[in-house]
A and B are shown apart, each in its own frame.
Chain A
Amino acid sequence: EDKVVQSPLSLVVHEGDTVTLNCSYEVTNFRSLLWYKQEKKAPTFLFMLTSSGIEKKSGRLSSILDKKELFSILNITATQTGDSAVYLCAVTTSGTYKYIFGTGTRLKVLA
């Protein structure tokens, strides 16, 4: 059965800290991995990764994929209280375009 596992489940840091969130997957015929941020309601798209070793970056956020070891990390540097959210990882596979989500990592950034 395809599965996506995120760690840690929750994390509390102080403003200015750097955090690394992990997403590992076990799926047949991997196609892509996506990261989302969910604050209150709708998850919002952050990154889509398809190739190993190529870092995607947006401001203080960056992400990279390792298709050999079957995981991705999401880094947030110089965290701010506005980064407090649940970060979700999702994987798609060839053959079907459904997105399989992990449980998410709940990040709380303290002022």
Chain B
Amino acid sequence: GAGVSQTPSNKVTEKGKYVELRCDPISGHTALYWYRQSLGQGPEFLIYFQGTGAADDSGLPNDRFFAVRPEGSVSTLKIQRTERGDSAVYLCASSWEEGSPLHFGNGTRLTVT
């Protein structure tokens, strides 16, 4: 595609529910990144993939967060037992290869009530 696509653009869920956030990277980009951004803060690293494998998942805050990229293209970020503190904009980015500039999607705004 022309750019990184994230769906949904907005998600409101109740505390304790499970959510999935989807990212469709730029075609041909091998690296895919997930970030979380709270109001007034810079993007906080969560995880990145090189191909199908998670190359660095050191930013995942706890075991409620999990991400997959089974075919090396689309990725899904999964959050179990959501908490109000998970409310943020979740940004996905892709790059041609590791170390090249990131291209961001418009994000998914997650609100946990």
Residues in A lying within 8 Å of B, measured CB to CB:
4, 6, 31-32, 34, 41-45, 48, 88, 90, 92, 96-104
Contact = CB atoms under 8 A, between A and B. Distances in A.
Q: Which of A32, A48, A88, A97 has the most CB of B within 10 A?
A: A97
Contact of A41 (B35, B45, B107): B107
Interface of B: 4, 31, 33, 35, 40-45, 48, 50, 55-56, 58-59, 89, 91, 98-99, 101-107
A32 B99 contact: yes
The DSSP consensus for interface residues of chain A is strand
A45 B99 contact: no
B5 to A, nearest CB: 11
A96 B103 CA distance: 18
A53 B110 CA distance: 41
Given A31-B99, A97-B48, A98-B33, A42 B91 contact: yes
Given A97-B31, A99-B33, A88 B42 contact: yes
Nearest to A4: B42
Contacts of A43: 43, 91, 102, 104
Contacts of A96: 55-56, 58
B43 A97 contact: no
Contacts of B50: 97
A102 B59 CA distance: 15
Contact of B101 (A4, A6, A48, A103): A48
A34 B99 CA distance: 11
Given A41-B106, A41-B107, 17 more contacts: A4-B42, A6-B42, A31-B99, A42-B4, A42-B91, A42-B104, A42-B105, A42-B107, A43-B104, A45-B102, A45-B103, A48-B101, A96-B55, A97-B98, A99-B33, A102-B42, A104-B41
Q: Which 5 A-B pairs have the closest CB atoms?
A: A101-B42, A97-B98, A42-B104, A41-B106, A45-B101
